[in-house]
Amino acid sequence: MGLTKPVLNSPSVWPRRVVRLEGNRLDPWSSDIVKDYRRVMEQFGLSGPTKEQVEFFQDAPFFRRRIIFAHRDLDVIIDAIRSGREYAVLTGIKPTGDYHMGTFQTVKEFVYFQRKSPQAIAVFSIADIEAWEDNGISFEESKKIAISNVSDLLAAGLDLERAYIYFQSKEIRVHELAALAARGITLATMRAVYGERHMGLYLSALVQIGDILLPQHPDLGGPKPTLVPVGIDQDPHLRLTRDVASKLKPKWGFVEPASTYHLIIRSLLGDKKMSKRDPMSYISLRDDESLVRKKILNAFTGGRETAQLQRELGGEPWKCVVYEIAKFHLYADKDEELEKIYRECVAGERLCGECKMQILEDLIEEMKEHERRRIEVLPTARQIVERAWNRQPLYTASSGGA
């Protein structure tokens, strides 16, 4: 979801360099992206999470580690959690391939925000229309790929009793909402947010607005706070959806969706973000052990040219992709382990070879554990995909229908 890419330079004029390769020697959670984005964040009303907000979400490594570095209306969600009121968390996947270390970050946030309150519902869009418009992948192919995606979602701990999983091409409510939204969106706005694209991608963008408003459809219980955890590159799309929600508020009562923004995990080669288009640039959740080994051993680090230099100057973990993978995906309950790695690296007490071996073993362990859970829930995933494909009623995955 989200690959009908908003145009980053217009109208929001994002800084071109998404990740700055300068770190802070004292702070294992540092990232200068916030500094880069400060002007844009102020202009569009994004804030960094406050100390109180981070405190509230202490049990989430991605808050403690400042992976979520910006948000909009997060307090609306915190209020709902505190007061036990219903809210929704929404995400999706463009089913063009398996989850990788980049895209899976959103799944972790999605499951976390659902589990955070028994009053949360989780809504998950299998964006088969986007996969068709953007990649020419047929709905039938999407259906096959979606089984793998949904199994990862379940293995990550989604509570099926409070989840709704659907295909864009099979969920009429999404199109009802997209049609509602479309009236009054000018071509100029579409061009500004998405660039000059073919009608398929514009349609896909409207359908995504429908996705984001779906939790507030009368059939899903009507207006409610909705949180959409995304990568920062999705913000122009979120802003457009908020405009639409605000315009439709008088009649439909929509609440403008809240959002959190996480850092973009870099490619294994140290540049750009992980992308499905280059398989060697990322670790897929379906990569086997030997492939993961190969990829990590080839990955870009923050090491110096020689071991001697490294001992003298210390490493630069803020440049290191392997450290980044650990920060995003390992030691969920052991920040001190990450801090130790960081400290030792900066102090020159840790060389890249041994460090890679440690992180590699822990990563493989983590992936095996995930895969074990996934195989267990695979039959359920198949069943969910089949029912979604056949347009079964809401909340049918395990609870037997609304």
Residues 247-286 that bind a copy of itself (CB under 8 A): 251
Pairing of strands 258-262, 68-72: antiparallel
Among residues 96, 149, 169, 267, the one that binds a copy of itself under rule CB under 8 A: 169
For a copy of itself, which is the closer residue by CB, 151 or 169?
Answer: 169
Residue bearing tokens 């020419």: 136
Among residues 202, 318, 323, 389, the one that binds a copy of itself under rule CB under 8 A: 202
Q: How far is the CB of 171 from a copy of itself (least distance, A)?
A: 7
Two structure tokens written together for 170: 């099979």
> What phi and psi, each to the nearest 5 degrees, are found at residue 122?
-115, 125
Q: Which stretch binds a copy of itself (CB under 8 A): 9-17, 50-58, 70-78, 200-208?
A: 200-208
For a copy of itself, which is the closer residue by CB, 380 or 392?
Answer: 392
Among residues 78, 190, 220, 230, the one that binds a copy of itself under rule CB under 8 A: 190
Q: 318: which DSSP letter?
A: G
The continuous run of DSSP H or E covering 26 comes out as: none
Task: Based on the shown chain and the rule CB under 8 A, indicate whether residue 176 belongs to the binding site for a copy of itself.
Answer: yes
3-state DSSP assignment of residue 96:
coil
Query: 57: closest CA among 193, 178, 229, 202?
Result: 229
Among residues 118, 157, 184, 353, the one that binds a copy of itself under rule CB under 8 A: 184
Alpha helices in 224-334 (DSSP H): 235-252, 289-297, 307-313, 321-329
For a copy of itself, which is the closer residue by CB, 216 or 260?
Answer: 216
3-state DSSP assignment of residue 351:
coil
Task: Based on the shown chain and the rule CB under 8 A, indicate whether residue 170 belongs to the binding site for a copy of itself.
Answer: yes
Among residues 16, 84, 199, 250, the one that binds a copy of itself under rule CB under 8 A: 199
Distance (Å, whole) CA 103 – CA 5: 15
Binding mask 358-397 for a copy of itself (x = CB under 8 A): ---------------------------------x------
Binding mask 52-91 for a copy of itself (x = CB under 8 A): ----------------------------------------
Among residues 51, 52, 83, 187, the one that binds a copy of itself under rule CB under 8 A: 187
Burial grade of 392 (CB within 10 A; 0-12, 13-18, 19 or more): middle
* Cβ atoms < 10 Å from Cβ of 308: 10
Q: How far is the CB of 382 from a copy of itself (least distance, A)?
A: 22
Binding mask 120-149 for a copy of itself (x = CB under 8 A): ---------x--xx--x-xx----------
Distance (Å, whole) CA 96 – CA 262: 22
- Count residues near a copy of itself (CB under 8 A): 36
Q: How far is the CB of 128 from a copy of itself (least distance, A)?
A: 9
Two structure tokens written together for 396: 């049918």
Distance (Å, whole) CA 73 – CA 239: 12
Distance (Å, whole) CA 381 – CA 148: 8
Among residues 120, 180, 230, 268, the one that binds a copy of itself under rule CB under 8 A: 180
Q: How far is the CB of 130 from a copy of itself (least distance, A)?
A: 9
Q: How far is the CB of 256 from a copy of itself (least distance, A)?
A: 20
Alpha helices in 273-331 (DSSP H): 289-297, 307-313, 321-329
Strands of 127-177 (E only): list them: 163-167
Distance (Å, whole) CA 120 – CA 89: 7
Does 11 sit behind a cis peptide bond, omega within 30 degrees of 0 on the bond before it?
A: yes
For a copy of itself, which is the closer residue by CB, 101 or 180?
Answer: 180
Q: Interface residues with a copy of itself (CB under 8 A)?
A: 129, 132-133, 136, 138-139, 168-172, 175-176, 178-180, 182-187, 189-190, 196-200, 202-204, 206-207, 251, 391
